[in-house]
Chain A
């Protein structure tokens, strides 16, 4: 069979990324330009600044990926691009660049849902086995997805308020940690003990998550202790917070695996890099004979390689689009 090369774009938040992926699993070249340092001074991603930086970076990233790969545009079979969800102004830059190449070279354009990309990041690391449950955890998402086969997505649960990574960053801020503080909370949690009393987040029969109550409990606790003139032990607080988060994430994930009678679990998204979550899932999956796949950290954060992997399977199913497709800040994975 002829090899299929995908040129993929991802610009949904604050990373400008372009990648070339062969046959849906082999990474030929990927370039990611992160704006994290720029947004750090504002304490979070500023959408208009993100859009402005994407425009400045986009051709630099395209050129670099082509140079790294030794391929030319003529070798490329299709263009894949994140169309949503994400920041609309940011999405538009990647989408227009992708459309420009599809227009100039008359190549098929394949729009990819950002979450489908995160899930398919696993395919770059080892072949995905179906049926599977995907736990997608990031700064913008907390979702449980059931996949019967390639590119069939059934969302079975999601967050009702804050995404898990968002809750981490907000808790980090109240603890006085620099943005983005989520990963630092993970580090501190490993040095502390679960000694603070915090509520377990939404623990019902659904697969939905809610982290705003837990987040508010942490914020209130910090304020109350401050008023009493007491020092907060950040390590112990991080540990208590992380323990509650990891407990509910793993509990509902395990329930989904049992209910759908699935023994393959993949974890995706930026929070998949969280050590506390990884350790607990590894233990539980071993105990329950579940095949666990968590991609390396560089595939967990936003990147175009994952969009190239997903784009290949979408293309095989004929999911191409005309050049009039719009970016969508909110769109369900179907």
Chain B
């Protein structure tokens, strides 16, 4: 069983090939601005190192958000096109969930991505990756309110003036374990979860 894992939503690009719960090869580095040019050279490299050809992959797991809109679209487009033409199983996971695989000694892990203007994309997870609060687009103060009297830690690639965070230490295998029995999706229905309407849509809604 060979899994291809793709996460293009965050400041680290993650491309990994896993065979029977063993990582064959992985890229997990920051290259945010150059994603659209570098992702295929990275893929070629990851496949070459694993000595795997694209058709050997059995299943694709793609992070479909939240995070950079352009980033999400790049990963999702690649994954759904790949799954369609080679008829591979495809499932999705949350980019926040992957960050929540970071090992900590707190009860709750709170992965956050800066969404600007005092807002973040955030979820609240426990160590088994159960969702205590669903991923959402939320004001930082409202999030702090939710976390009152809880034992938690923020995990993020981004820097925040107000918040103390630790860097993510990803555990890809935890994502595989969690999602390996998910039902495969129709590639046409694999789409981004932005958690946020476009400005044009919000204005249009408010005028109604």
Residues of B with C-beta under 8 A to A331? none
The verdict on A327 contacting chain B, using a C-beta distance below 8 Å, is yes
Selected A-B contacts with CB under 8 Å, 16 pairs:
A41-B204, A42-B200, A48-B200, A51-B69, A54-B73, A55-B77, A56-B188, A56-B191, A58-B77, A62-B85, A96-B73, A97-B78, A101-B81, A103-B44, A323-B44, A327-B36
Given known contacts A41-B204, A89-B70, A101-B81, is B36 in contact with A95 (CB within 8 Å)? yes
Q: Among B37, B84, B85, B191, which residue has its beta carbon within 8 angstroms of that of A326?
A: B37
CA distance A245 to B43 in the complex (A): 50
B81, A97: Cβ atoms closer than 8 Å: yes
* B80: Cβ under 8 A from any A Cβ: yes
A62 vs B37: C-alpha distance when bound (angstroms): 22
Interface size on A, residues (CB 8 A): 33
A46 CA to B84 CA in the complex, in Å? 28
Which of B39, B54, B80 is the one whose CB lies under 8 Å from A58?
B80
Which residues 120-144 of A have a CB within 8 angstroms of B? none
In the complex, residue of chain A having the shortest beta-carbon distance to the beta carbon of B47: A103
Chain B residues with CB under 8 Å of chain A are: 36-41, 43-44, 54-55, 69-70, 73-74, 76-78, 80-82, 84-86, 187-188, 191-192, 194, 198-201, 204
B37: which of A42, A52, A100, A324 is its contact (CB, 8 Å)? Answer: A324
Q: Is the interface of A mostly helix, strand, loop or mixed?
A: helix
Bitwise interface map of A from 46 to 65 toward B, beta carbon under 8 Å scored 1, else 0 = 10110110111011101100
Q: A281 an interface residue at 8 Å Cβ cutoff?
A: no
Complex contact B81–A55 (CB within 8 A): no
Let me know if A93 and B85 touch, CB within 8 A.
no
Q: How far is the CB of A121 from chain B (nearest CB, A)?
A: 25
Cβ contacts under 8 Å, A42 to chain B: 200, 204
Residues of B within 8 A of A95 (CB): 36
Contact A92/B85 with A49-B198, A324-B37, A327-B36 known, Cβ cut-off 8 Å: no
CB nearest neighbor in A for B187 = A59
* Bound complex: CA A62 to CA B82 (Å): 11
In the complex, whether A104 has a CB less than 8 A from a CB of chain B is: yes
Say yes or no: A104 contacts B82, CB within 8 Å: yes
A123 CB to closest chain B CB (Å) equals: 27
The reply on A232 being an interface residue by CB < 8 A is no
Chain B nearest CB from A245 CB (Å) reads 29
The listed residue with most A CB atoms (<10 A of its CB), out of B73, B86, B191, is: B73
Cβ 8 A contact of B86, one of A41, A104, A323, A327: A104
Within 8 Å CB of B198, what residues of A? 46, 48-49, 52
Q: B86 to chain A: closest CB distance in Å?
A: 6
> Contacts A55-B191, A95-B36, A104-B82; is A49 near B77 (CB within 8 Å)?
no
Verify B73–A93 contact, CB threshold 8 A.
yes
Do the beta carbons of A96 and B36 come within 8 Å of each other? yes
* Any B CB within 8 A of the CB of A160: no
When distances are taken between beta carbons in the complex, the residues of chain A under 8 Å from B191 are 55-56
In the bound assembly, the distance between CA atoms of A41 and B205 in angstroms comes to 11
Q: A48-B69, A56-B188, A97-B78 are in contact. List 7 more A-B contacts (CB 8 A).
A: A42-B204, A46-B198, A52-B73, A60-B188, A92-B77, A323-B41, A326-B37
With A56-B191, A323-B40 in contact, do A51 and B73 touch (Cβ < 8 Å)?
yes
Set B40, B69, B85, B194: member contacting A99, Cβ < 8 A? B40
Chain A contacts for B69, CB-based, 8 A: 48, 51, 89
Q: Which of A209-225 contact B (CB under 8 A)?
A: none
> Chain A contacts of B74 at CB under 8 A?
92, 96
Q: Within the complex, which residue of A96, A324, A325, A326 is in contact with B77, where a contact is CB–CB below 8 Å? A: A96
Given A62-B84, A100-B82, A325-B37, A92:B188 Cβ within 8 A: no
